[in-house]
Amino acid sequence: MTHSISSCARAATAEEARYRIDRPIPGRSACVVALDDGAAEILERTDRPFTRSPAPGELADSDLVLVVATNDDGAELAADVARACWERGVMATGLIVGESRDAVTALRPYARNLMITDDEEDVVAVLAALRA
Amino acid sequence: MLKAEVNELLTRIGPGTPAGALFREYWLPALLAEELPEDDGPPVRVKILGERLIAFRNSEGAYGLIDEFCAHRGASLWFGKVCEGGIRCAYHGWKYGVDGQCLEVPSEPENSTFAAKVKLTSYPLVKVGDILWTHLGDPARRPPLPEFEFCHVPPEQTYTSKRWQESNWLQALEGGIDSSHVSWLHAGGLRNDPLFKGTKGNEYNLADLRPFFEVVDADGGLFVGARRNAEDGKYYWRITPYVMPSFTIVPPRGDHPVHGHFWVPIDDENTWVYTFDYHPTRALTAEERQAMKDGHGVHSRNIPGTYRPVENKDVDYLIDREAQRRGDTFSGVRGIAQQDASLQESMGPIVDRTKERLVSSDTGIIKCRQKLKKAIEALRDEGVTPPGVDPAHHRVRSAAIVLPQAESFIDAARDALAVRAGEAHVSV
């Protein structure tokens, strides 16, 4: 089809949207880390594999690391994991459910994205949305 | 990625839909006050949440928003004559009041009571600031009027425009929450636009194309913080409030006016974008107001006599490949509003979110969808009033602020994010 003055008008219709190529989208290679007992309990309810202390190889093989915290117990581990991700060029995202001031502070320098929420169902929502 | 059924749940807003019920909990902009400038002036068609209505201003200055079609034979009241305290259908002269009550059926005997038995659906229409607001929901659940700061400052301190966007409301709103596109799609505007340029914040924006994001729950919605490196171990934060269901405020730049949007569904595939600029403590200058009317900042340049942007899909958004090549604009489309609209409309009327590949920087969008979904379900299943209905949730501000690295933006900027009458916004 040649370019016409109104190619956008035609291309933006619902009818044309049906012709978008339908190709399976693979999931992401994600490593989910529970920083404390509360985070582990949340992740157990999701039936999603997770780790309490990721090996360096696990982080390096991932293209996304999701760190979940519910309190400050894992602040030191948070800093270690986030720093390791930073050094390996792996995207780290922190999900803080409830109050975890120290964990947030530990993650902030290295985790490109932080969500601070009162709703534990956000953990599942983020994992699903990112295909993790 | 979103499941198909959740995408349907969030995007369909007509009568009887769960998301439509959510929107019907709020006061929403129905039209600009400038569209009904005088008593007994011409009526205006209004389509909102999939309902076709007619708005008019009667002989006493009262506003009416009623079913567009005459109860008699279904003719449009757009052809009607506003006079004698109501609107008369042009076909047979049936007359209706601002509350939709039929006041006169000329073909009936003089002492007939027939007219009293005829009433069109009607909704309230109330002027707050430059906007006429309506509430399409249950009158028993009608909340107090909106208290957004932009419509409560003196008239000389605020300006509101409107444009038609040819896409579903949600993909339009999501652009307002997605800060990561600004340094790319709108880079030209940061350098050149009269309503943006010349601030220290722009230098931080343009020097750091990989911002970090923090998303924090708020009573009425969310705060989305985007942080970039600043000097001396500090961060430059741009903080965007999102108030449910579809209101956002863009973080300010220097002493420029603050702008934001209210995205109002016309139907499932079209949206009215109400765009405002205001300054909390000073009048807008004549130059600023003219720049807004000319489509600078986040406003659009509309086809005269309409609210359709000049740069629309029927003319390929007047894309200028030479400007794109030179770097004047990143996409070749003029103006921030239509740079956004062109890409959001290109997704199709309702984007298929099952085919997305979201990344971590989309966390704000993910959380926004999750909040909408939960509010829709809580209202549908338990009648829970959603966040953003309470006018206290409207009294928020955006902010642009430099903070020490160790500080949480939500704690350090708490005062900056609240409306403080008579005080300027916090901005860099």
Per-residue pLDDT tens over the stretch B91-138: 999 999 999 999 999 999 989 999 999 999 999 999 999 999 999 999
Parts of chain B with a pLDDT under 70: none
Q: What pLDDT, on a 0 to 100 scale, did the predictor assign at position B183?
A: 79
B82 CA: distance to closest CA in chain A (Å): 37
Q: What does residue B155 show for φ and ψ, rounded to 5 degrees?
A: -55, -35
Amino acid symbol at B126: V
Q: What is the DSSP letter of B185?
A: H
Q: What pLDDT, on a 0 to 100 scale, did the predictor assign at position B173?
A: 98
Contact B20, B238 (CB under 8 A): no
B75 CA: distance to closest CA in chain A (Å): 30
Question: Which of B346, B367, B369 is the closest to A11 by Cβ?
Answer: B346
Contact A115, A121 (CB under 8 A): no
Contact B311, B209 (CB under 8 A): no
Per-residue pLDDT reduced to its tens digit, B190-210: 777 899 888 999 888 888 888
Q: What pLDDT, on a 0 to 100 scale, did the predictor assign at position A27?
A: 86
pLDDT of A5 > 60? The answer is: no
- Closest chain B CA to residue A24: B355
Question: Which of A17, A113, A116 is the closest to B348 by Cβ?
Answer: A17
Question: Which of B213, B314, B347 is the closest to A6 by Cβ?
Answer: B314
Provide the 10 A C-beta neighbour count for residue A43.
23
Residue B204 DSSP SS3:
helix
Amino acid symbol at B54: I
What span, in angstroms and rounded, lies between the C-alpha atoms of B243 and A91? 29
pTM of the full structure: 0.95
**What ipTM, to 2 d.p.?**
0.93
Judged by a CB distance cut-off of 8 A, whether residue B107 touches chain A is no
pLDDT of A2 > 50? The answer is: no
Q: Which chain A residues touch B if contact means CB-CB below 8 Å?
A: 5-9, 11-14, 16-17, 20, 22, 25, 64, 91, 93, 101, 104-105, 108-109, 111-119, 121-122, 125-126, 128-131
A37 CA: distance to closest CA in chain B (Å): 22
Q: Verify cis geometry, omega within 30 degrees of 0, for the bond prior to B245.
A: yes
B227 CA: distance to closest CA in chain A (Å): 9
Residues 6+ apart with CB under 8 A from B128: B145, B146, B151, B152
**Residue where the block lists tokens 């807004």:** B292
**Residue where the block lists tokens 């009648």:** B383
Angle, CA of B376, B382 and B383, to the nearest 5°: 70
Phi/psi-derived region of residue B318, left when phi > 0, alpha when psi is between -120 and 50, beta in every other case: left
**Burial tier of B382 (Cβ tally within 10 Å: 0-12, 13-18, 19+):** exposed
- Closest chain B CA to residue A4: B316
What span, in angstroms and rounded, lies between the C-alpha atoms of B85 and B218? 44
What span, in angstroms and rounded, lies between the C-alpha atoms of B284 and A34? 51
Q: What pLDDT, on a 0 to 100 scale, did the predictor assign at position B365?
A: 96
Contact B300, B309 (CB under 8 A): yes
Q: What is the mean pLDDT of the segment spanning A105-118?
A: 89
Q: What pLDDT, on a 0 to 100 scale, did the predictor assign at position A108?
A: 87
Q: What pLDDT, on a 0 to 100 scale, did the predictor assign at position B180?
A: 81
Band (pLDDT 50/70/90 cuts) for residue A4 is low
Question: Which of A9, A109, A129 is the closest to B358 by Cβ?
Answer: A129
pLDDT of A103 > 60? The answer is: yes
CB contact under 8 A, B346 and A64: no
Q: What pLDDT, on a 0 to 100 scale, did the predictor assign at position B272?
A: 98
pLDDT of A3 > 60? The answer is: no
Q: Among residues B270, B267, B226, B227, which one has the least CA distance to residue B248?
A: B226
Inter-CA distances, B277 with B61, B153, B398, Å: 27, 11, 12
CB contact under 8 A, A8 and B317: yes
Which CATH architecture best describes the domain A25-129? 3-Layer(aba) Sandwich (3.40)
> How much is the mean pLDDT over chain A?
89
B35 CA: distance to closest CA in chain A (Å): 28
Provide the 10 A C-beta neighbour count for residue A14.
11
